[in-house]
Amino acid sequence: MNVEQDVALGRLTTVGIGGPARHFARPQTVGELEEVLRWAAAEGLDLLTIGLGSNVLIADEGVDALILRLEGELAAAEARDGLLGAGGGAANAVCLHRTRAAGLGGFEFACAIPGTIGGGVRMNAGAYGGDWRGILERALVATAEGSGWRTPGELGLEYRRSALQPGEVVARAEFRLAPKPPNEIKATVADLQAQRKAAQPTNKRTFGSVFKNPEHELSAGRMLEAVGLKGYRIGGAQISPRHGNFIENAGEARAKEALALMAEARRRALEEFGVELVHEVRLVGGLELPPAGERL
């Protein structure tokens, strides 16, 4: 298994921020994945899998770890007999294409989620009333000790989280779907995409929702709008003028500028609403937020 050194990660994320990975590998089969996981364990390396990098903020200094990107058969997908089967690195867009061609409905909600199958399991991704937990049958999880299938219950899928640990990699997943005519799938997707375009910055470099929605009458986005943060900028990072719960890379944004915006957003939400916002985006490479209420 070829392991590359000092691979730039920013270009592998949707927000375009982040320094290099010390070690980087692209396993293509379950065998290659297990081999590289054993190697990382023997070397005592920390491990992180990256999908489409659509929900990560990576430190400017990079990551002193092994970063894995699943390719080849670990990024392939097929749909038939009521099942979508896909590698952990398969893009949601490819999976949606396969399910539509096979006349299988139930995955349309993922049309607005620009990630991979494995990233979706890790985050229990969801939108428009659907999520991974609702359709997932089982996932093949690889570790340095070997691979095994897990049910949604065993994966601990909850709102935008799972019980998966950094050394556990989703190599493959299977979803139960229902027959639906391709033209109806197409119409549903067009409708959801139009809704998304009307409400969120779809053509900007972002990492998706910054914060989870709190248990409050206002969503995180509405809260940050109410405290006047829409359009607020620190360096090259800006709270989206379209939607308060998105941070855009509006120039050559640095991770520490995005982090400073997140700290300011938490400070204002606490001050104004008494709510401690919890971040949804995964912070990678030692990035840490200060306690709620403090600036960075």
Ligand X SMILES: Cc1cc2nc3c(=O)[nH]c(=O)nc-3n(C[C@H](O)[C@H](O)[C@H](O)COP(=O)(O)OP(=O)(O)OC[C@H]3O[C@@H](n4cnc5c(N)ncnc54)[C@H](O)[C@@H]3O)c2cc1C
The size of the interface with ligand X (CB under 6 A), counted in residues, is: 32
For ligand X, the closer of residues 224 and 267 by Cβ is: 224
Which 147-176 residues touch ligand X, going by CB under 6 A? 164, 169-170
Residue 244 sits at the vertex; the CA angle it makes with 158 and 286, to the nearest 5 degrees, is 60
**What is the footprint of ligand X within residues 73-92 (CB under 6 A)?**
88
| Contact between 232 and ligand X per CB under 6 A | no
Measured torsion, CA atoms of residues 222, 226, 231, 235, in degrees rounded to the nearest 10: -100
Which residue in the set 18, 49, 95, 263 belongs to the binding site for ligand X (CB under 6 A)?
49
Choice among 160, 172, 254, 266 that is catalytic: 160
Kindly state whether residue 17 participates in binding ligand X, applying the rule CB under 6 A.
no
Tell me whether residue 280 is one of the annotated catalytic residues. yes
Residue indicated by tokens 């070997």: 146
Binding of residue 18 to ligand X (CB under 6 A): no
Least gap, CB of 147 to ligand X (angstroms): 12
Does residue 51 bind ligand X (CB under 6 A)? yes
Cβ at position 97, least distance to ligand X in Å: 16
Q: Is 196 a catalytic residue?
A: no
Which lies closer to ligand X via its Cβ, residue 125 or residue 267?
A: 125
Distance in angstroms (rounded) separating the CA atoms of residues 209 and 23: 28
Binding letters toward ligand X, positions 189-208, x by CB under 6 A: -----------------xxx
Applying CB under 6 A, the span of 47-55, 176-184, 226-234, 288-296 interacting with ligand X comes to: 47-55
112, 220, 259, 261: which one binds ligand X (CB under 6 A): 112
> Of these residues, 168, 257, 264, 280, which one is catalytic?
280
For residue 268, which of 225, 215, 234 has the smallest C-alpha distance? 225
Stretch of residues binding ligand X (CB under 6 A), selected from 22-30, 48-56, 58-66, 269-277: 48-56
Is residue 217 among the annotated active site residues?
A: no
Nearer to ligand X by Cβ, of 166 and 251: the residue is 166
CA distance 2 to 74: 16
Q: Catalytic site residues?
A: 160, 209, 280
Which residues of the shown chain bind ligand X in the complex (CB under 6 A)?
Answer: 14, 48-56, 70, 88, 112-116, 118-120, 122-123, 125-127, 164, 169-170, 206-208, 282
